[in-house]
A = this chain, B = another copy of it.
Amino acid sequence: MRIRVFSALLCLAALGEARAQQPKFLSDSTLERPTDYEQWVMVGSSTGLSYNPAVNAQPGASPGMFHNVYLQPWAYRQVVETGRFPEGSMFVLAFFESSTNAAPAKGGFYEGDQLASFEVHVKKSGIDPTGWAFFGFDDKGPGEKLPGNAPCYSCHATEAKVDNVFVQFYPALREKLAAKGVYRK
């Protein structure tokens, strides 16, 4: 009986989660703020990633902010199974200060405070010639679509290895999509 109640609760939770993880467009250019994305699949982290040549850092200097990229669990399972990102896939790009303040760490950097702003890359047929759009979120409320001439669109279209997605940076996707034949290492 206890197991049955537990199972029922688990089912309700799974259904609620799958619904909550769908993108909700409030208009053609507005996307509802996704929640709880820290519980999605973190496909890859990076520090100080830049599309401009590196400035020479001082020894011991901060490596720059951490960027974590999250994908909905249902979309992750589907792309790993089929090799295609499903309609409604959302990548969240979240930013964290690099920090070195807490004992017992004496070297290196961990993820400090998260910035309030983040970005979403969402797959939606017809939203843009690339089939994906970028939305910027500030400290609260829904996100605003970045215009199609923003450089992220053309860069992702030409440089990203699989369907506008920077799979080359994501260890949780590289091997699995190579096994599907849609990514070459």
Q: Which residues of A contact B (CB under 8 A)?
A: 7, 10-11, 13-15, 18, 38-39, 41-42, 44-60, 63-64, 66, 68, 73, 76-77, 96, 98, 102-114, 155, 159, 168-172
Chain B residues with CB below 8 A from A77, complex form: 39
Contacting pair B107 A54 (CB below 8 A): yes
**A76 neighbours in B (Cβ, 8 Å):** 39
Copy number in this complex? 2
Residues on B with beta carbons closer than 8 Å to the beta carbon of A172: 38-39
Q: Decide: A114 and B53 in contact? CB cutoff 8 A.
A: no
Q: Which of B54, B96, B106, B112 contacts A106 (CB 8 A)?
A: B54
Distance to closest chain B CB from A124 (angstroms)? 21
Report whether A54 and B159 are in contact in the complex, using a CB–CB cutoff of 8 Å.
Answer: no
Question: Which of B108, B111, B113, B169 makes the CB contact (< 8 A) with A110?
Answer: B169
